[in-house]
Amino acid sequence: MKALTITPAATQLPRPALRAEVIRLDKHRKGAFAVAGDKKKIAAYHWESVITAIRAIQGRGSESAAVDLFMRRAENGDLKPSVMDALAAVSVGKRMMPSRSTIFEKLAAYRDHGVDGLVKKHKGRIRIEGRWEGLALEIWSQSTSPEIAPIHRKLMEVHGFTVGYEQVRGYINALPATLGRMSPARIGRNAYRLSQKSFIRRCIDNLLPGDIYVADGYCADIYLAHPITGKLWRPELTVAMDLASRHIVHMRADEHEGTYAVQNMWAECFVKWNHVPLILYVDNGSGYFNHLMSDEMTGFYARSGVQEVIHAIPGNPHGKGWIERFFRTFKDDFLRVRWAAYCCADEQADEVKNHLVNEVKEGRIALPTLAEFMESVTAWLADYHGRAIPNQPALAKQTLWAQLQPVPPTVNLAVLKRRSEMRKVRRSAVVHMGREYSHPDLLAWNGQPVVLEYDLTDDKVAVIRTEAGDFICDAHLVKKVQQFSDNRLEDLRQKRLENQIKRKQKHLEEDIARAGRVFDAEALAEGALPALEGESQRIEGGDFSLDDFN
């Protein structure tokens, strides 16, 4: 067996590792300066400038003598302006410079830790919880949006906490924005999303005039004379805007923003400029989104040649911000200034609006007509179109709109205003809304579905087409139920009147029931029908149409 030889080197104890050989385990951590805020970083930079100036004075001499000489030069203003500014920035209160001891502390910290040692580590007074904070936050976050003073009183009077108003106010004001005054719990998630959260702004710089039309309705804040009754009336304006140029391509006034108003507005707009846009950007209202407008085969959008219809997200006004901005400009610049005497905007005092209503009812003020109002709107739009486009300040709306390259509609205005529905042929005839249309050519189509095109204002003839849109014949009216009028528009108005009567009758029944009275509903209805029928005949007998004013 070979003997183990022990050399002097083997008995030598392990030497300690050199400083250069030590691997720092926290090298991945960021220093105090890297994680500090902007204010603390700026203060550290100022201290570094002061220390650099002191070291330049010190050279190889004493640090204490260098500090004394630095402070004397600072008192005499003999330092560089940048150093004097840095010295004033790190001073506290009204002092000209920090104290001598503070300067030595910063010199030692910079020598040991570099710029990280110059970062202020004071974090303020640590707040002590008082057990009432959670309850205060719970009350503060209620949907009723309570104020601070009632919360403080409830904490003291109901829950028995000994807490000052300043403490409660300081705690609530220090809450983050998601829990603060405009938090989703206080104002609602939808209002928080619309008013506080960021949203994506769409870029429309590459659009050409006529690519996209945006449309919406607006109940005008103005009192006009109703075209039939002459009483107070606020018209419903349906407005279409070209998105690229912000040019108002059409505006129509109606009693409400229904399918009839929307379809006629689009038909008149397409024919007016001899152009059908690629895309329509509209909301989800009943006038824009329904079977008569949106059906892939018989809907107005498909028949007119529109390539795509985009419906905005419900409850999101940012989606149609361009047209909403126009409505605000229309109200502020036109209604509240040029029609101030008849304006009924929310910004007006109630007594002013009530005075106008009373004066009109007493006959001392005559309301303007719809024709006068629309004529004034047309004149104002001419000025509006001369203004600059928001995203192109050097270009006017009418200048860019003049670059439109029209894509003409394939049919005329009368055809665009027709409605279209699917019907099945039976015995060479098609029945729709109590009206029967017949033609000899329909015999070959018995039992098959066809497309019926009809005019709301004239029920004498209906156009029959195949599902592919090919013409079959013009079917003539051969039979009509007696209760129906000469055109479908009057039937729809009569139906709306009957529904209004039913709703008012329900309200009357509820009021009488609340009063504890018993009545005969049928007797009341029979007594009201003659008056209503007379009113209906008076309306039908007139030749009024809102189309006359658009």
Residue 450 to residue 297: CA distance in whole angstroms: 11
The pLDDT confidence band at residue 1, using thresholds 50, 70 and 90, is very low
| pLDDT higher than 50, residue 9 | no
Which tens digits make up the pLDDT trace of 30-70? 777 887 888 888 888 888 988 988 888 888 788 898 888 88
Residue-wise pLDDT tens digits, 340-398: 999 998 888 889 999 999 999 998 999 999 999 999 999 999 999 999 998 888 999 99
64's enclosing H/E stretch is helix 63-76
> pLDDT per residue over 390-444, tens digit each?
888 899 999 999 999 999 998 889 889 888 999 999 999 999 888 899 999 999 9
Query: Cβ of 358: how many Cβ atoms within 10 Å?
Result: 11
**Secondary structure letter of residue 278 according to DSSP:** S
Q: Which two tokens stand for residue 13?
A: 């104890």
According to the model, what pLDDT value does residue 513 have? Answer: 75
Tokens of 25: 């385990």
Mean pLDDT rounded to a whole number for the chain: 83
Coil/strand/helix, residue 435? strand
pLDDT of residue 240: 95
- Residue 19: predicted pLDDT: 44
Q: How many Å is the maximal CA-CA distance in the chain?
A: 135
Write the CA distances from 310 to 111, 215, 251, 455, integer angstroms: 66, 11, 20, 27
Going by C-alpha positions, the residue among 273, 289, 219 that lies closest to residue 241 is 273
Q: How far apart are CA 343 and CA 335, in angstroms?
A: 6
The sign one gets for the Cα dihedral 510, 516, 518, 524 is negative
What pLDDT is stored for residue 259 in this prediction?
Answer: 85
Beta bridge partners of 452: 421, 464
CA dihedral 254, 258, 259, 262 (to 10 degrees): 50
* Structural domains for the chain: 38-117 (no CATH), 132-196 (no CATH), 212-402 (3.30.420.10), 418-514 (no CATH)
- Compute the radius of gyration of the chain from its Cα atoms: 40
Q: Is 90 exceeded by the pLDDT of residue 506?
A: no
Q: What's this model's pTM, rounded to 2 decimal places?
A: 0.64
Q: What's the pLDDT score for residue 550? A: 54
User: What letter does residue 444 receive in the DSSP assignment?
Assistant: G
Structure confidence by residue, pLDDT tens digits, 274-285: 999 999 999 888
Report how far Cα 48 is from the mean position of its chain's Cα atoms.
50
pLDDT at 531 over 80: no
Task: Name the residue with higher pLDDT: 162 or 529.
Answer: 162
pLDDT band of 298, cuts 50, 70, 90: confident
